[in-house]
Chains A and B, each alone.
Chain A
Amino acid sequence: MDKKNKNNIIQKPCSRRTFLKGATAGLASLALPAGNADASVWEAFFQKHFKEMDDDEIQSVIKRLQKEYADNYGVNFNIKNTKPLEGTLFGYGLDLSRCIGCRRCVYACVKENNQSVQPQIHWITVLRFKKGEKYVSNFEESEAYYAPKEVPEEGHFYMPIQCQQCENPPCVKVCPTQATWKERDGIVVVDYNWCIGCRYCMAACPYGARHFNWGKPNRSREEYNTETHYLGNRPRYKGVVEKCTFCIQRTREGKYPACVEICPVGARKFGNLLDPNSEIRYCIENKRVFRLKEDLNTSPKFYYFFAD
């Protein structure tokens, strides 16, 4: 081997992947303001699917995200990756005879889960019906944008709808990139860093539970909830789909979801379906219960019931 060739050994052969990495980073740096054009651009681009990463890789991604969020929002976030608890299958109950349609749950959810305020995203929709209407089979008779002086209004009843955390979720089945899946504790989650924003899941969901970031998600700096979970309430991106996760950041720590905690009339119940002594099991076993759109066979883990 001559001298010239020896020197060349230092120059590693340029594989297709490294070439792509370099080319993308180069292109991306053109599109970004100079200060941001660091290594994290291509790290973000080549980030693996959440389920394909080991714990170390997830930790390094979390570190990168924390830095990215601190740069973008001027706030330090804590991003956890709490795993599902053993022997847990979360279920939700909603007492329609108690709900007064105040929508405190809607706003508690926005606050807890760092939803975009401008443009506005709500994970919970509260429908108002006139008494006597076909509420289960025909939502066309309902009104989602009611604005009374006082609730509850005479002659009306209310029906909050959010992600039903289906046991057989159509959104997961249709996702072309496996960016959404059902966790062992029954929570359907989205990896916001893997979603390509095709919105097929939104077409598939029978409950209008999935929401898309049509614009850049915005809220004021002080309003951010910095206690987050990777699969839950961390700040979102423009162009990806998001959804209710039963407040994964709270419930996996043994707390109630924010909507349950805020409800002033105690219409909302939450617990472990596998625990025979849980409140949710009591409601299912002792009340008149129904689930939404049962004919579609999605098998929601969200139970509507009437206490009286």
Chain B
Amino acid sequence: MLNVLQPVKNFFVTVKFLTKGSKWYYGWLAFLLFFIVFGIISYIRQLDQGMILTHMRDQVSWGMYISNFTFLVGVAAAAVLLVIPAYLYNFKPIKEIVLFGEMLAITAIVMCLLFIMADLGRPDRAWHILPIIGAMNFPNSLLAWDVVVLNGYLTINTIVVFYVLYRLSLGKEYKMSIIWPLVVLSIPWAISIHTVTAFLYNGLSARPFWNASILAPRFIASALCSGPALMLVIFQIIRKVSDIEIADTAIFKIAELIAYAMGINLFLFFAEVFKEFYSGSVHLAPMEYLYFGLHGHSNMVIWMWLALIFNITAFILFLRPKTRENYFTLNLACTLIILGVYIEKGMGLIVPGFIPSTLGEIYEYSPSAVEKSITIGIWAAGAMVFTLLLKFALPVYTGKLRFKTGSE
């Protein structure tokens, strides 16, 4: 009997544990909660009055929500950059922190799902997209594929993370025989979530800007920059606020990998720019709109050039071992990459797909107050999920939190 009740008891111990912390912990949670509530209020307004509160219209029918979704799929997929050296090459410094990368992947997918819900005109009918109980259009619709791969990736990472933490919390080693197949599966799966998301746009012949076969590789290259850059910043924070040790070599190794990914990303970008501008067909219009403006419309131009400058600067900083292994320039480069890819892969990818529209109209989109506050709310919710995961994982990891096993 004790054995059955023990996990339930452990669960409540965990919940109790999560509610206890320092002043800083409470302050941080309150700070996040403020923005979450703010976002929820905006979402209720959007549900009540309709998506007319956003600045999306028929001409530009996807905007800030789908942009953030796209960026975050990349962040989730980037966990693979830790998983490969950790498990396949058994690189010890990274193996010690791979769990946190997987937790970031879980957080990013949760945020992706929230952004999708924010973007649906009828979220009450979301069950229609599920297999069996709904009418999922599989395999025809890439959105159906996305539902499968995103939820699959979430499941894999959740199982791995919680299994490892559960074993550790009981003071036992986790069994590699259980972890190994999941990890091996998670590597192609991580690539697949990003490939499928790229194909979602890529497969639309109506939108020449997306209908380029280079899109999926570019997606993955940029994901392998922004996600790990975000992780580097988070690892340094974790190292500061907890007593966990993260080796410099792990951080520098990840930075080195980012440099390669960014090199490939920039090369693919220039390949696409060359094809569009040299051939100069009417398909050039969205690219022209992005970098030079079209028929006097140039809202995005400054952002795109900024993103390009950020990415190139970050690439140079990451490439030189001297600047890569200096924490000031490293963090500067991380920030530049996160911002650069966020602009390029977010609004810079989604919006120009719709400009000019299929009937040649130029509707310049910029997000409304409701879109911005829901977006901030979802980011705060993501930070909250990650904080709570860390709050539990860190003491388990360092051995400070141990449950009694039923048999004892």
Q: Which residues of A contact B (CB under 8 A)?
A: 45, 49, 52, 119, 125, 127, 137-142, 144, 161, 170, 173-179, 194-200, 202-208, 210-216, 237-241, 296-297
Q: Are A206 and B358 in contact (CB under 8 A)?
A: yes
Contact A208 B58 (CB under 8 A): yes
Stretch with Cβ within 8 A of A (4 or more), from B32-40, B101-109, B128-136? B128-136
In the docked arrangement, what's the CA distance between A239 and B52, Å?
A: 9
Residue of B nearest to A174 (CB): B141
Q: Which of A175, A177, A194, A216 has the most CB of B within 10 A?
A: A177
Q: Which residues of B contact A (CB under 8 A)?
A: 49-52, 54, 56-59, 61-62, 119-126, 128-129, 134-137, 140-144, 147, 200-201, 203-207, 282, 285, 294-295, 353-354, 356-362
Rounded to whole angstroms, the CA-CA distance of A189 and B208 in the bound complex is 26
A–B complex contacts, Cβ < 8 Å, 13 sampled: A49-B128, A119-B52, A177-B136, A178-B137, A203-B62, A203-B353, A208-B357, A210-B58, A211-B58, A212-B58, A214-B57, A216-B50, A239-B120
Contact check, A141 vs B360: say whether CB atoms are below 8 A apart.
yes
Interface majority SS (helix, strand, loop, mixed), chain A: loop
How many A-B pairs have beta carbons closer than 8 Å: the answer is: 150
Asked if B360 contacts A138 (CB within 8 A), the reply is yes
Is there contact, CB below 8 Å, between B285 and A140? yes
Give the one of B58, B124, B203, B204 with max A CB within 10 A: B58
With A196-B126, A200-B143, A296-B206 given, can you name 7 additional A-B contacts, CB distance below 8 Å?
Answer: A138-B360, A139-B360, A173-B141, A175-B141, A203-B206, A212-B121, A239-B121
List of B residues within 8 angstroms of A214 by Cβ: 50-52, 54, 56-57
| 5 cross-chain pairs, A with B, having the tightest CB-CB distances, nearest first | A197-B121, A139-B360, A239-B121, A206-B206, A215-B52
Give A115 Cβ to nearest chain B Cβ, in Å.
12
Note all chain B residues with C-beta closer than 8 A to A127. Answer: 359-360
Once bound together, how far apart are the Cα atoms of A137 and B284, in whole Å? 13
Report Cα–Cα, A239/B120, bound state, in Å: 8
User: Which residues of the partner chain B approach A199 to less than 8 Å between Cβ atoms?
Assistant: 61-62, 119, 121
Q: Is the CB of A196 within 8 A of B50?
A: no
Contacts of B353 in A (CB 8 A): 203
User: A45, A141, A161, A210: which contacts B124 (Cβ < 8 A)?
Assistant: A45
Closest partner residue, chain B, to A159 (CB atom): B359
* B135-A178 in contact (CB<8A): yes
Separation in Å of the A120 CB from the closest CB of chain B? 11
Cα distance A200–B136 when bound, in Å? 14
When the two chains form their complex, are residues B204 and A204 in contact, meaning their CB atoms are under 8 A apart?
yes
Q: Which residues of A contact B282 (CB under 8 A)?
A: 137-138, 140
B356: min CB distance to chain A, Å: 5
B360→A213 contact, CB < 8 A: no
Contact between chains at A139 and B356 (CB < 8 Å): yes
A194 touches B125 (CB 8 A): yes
CA distance A119 to B54 in the complex (A): 14
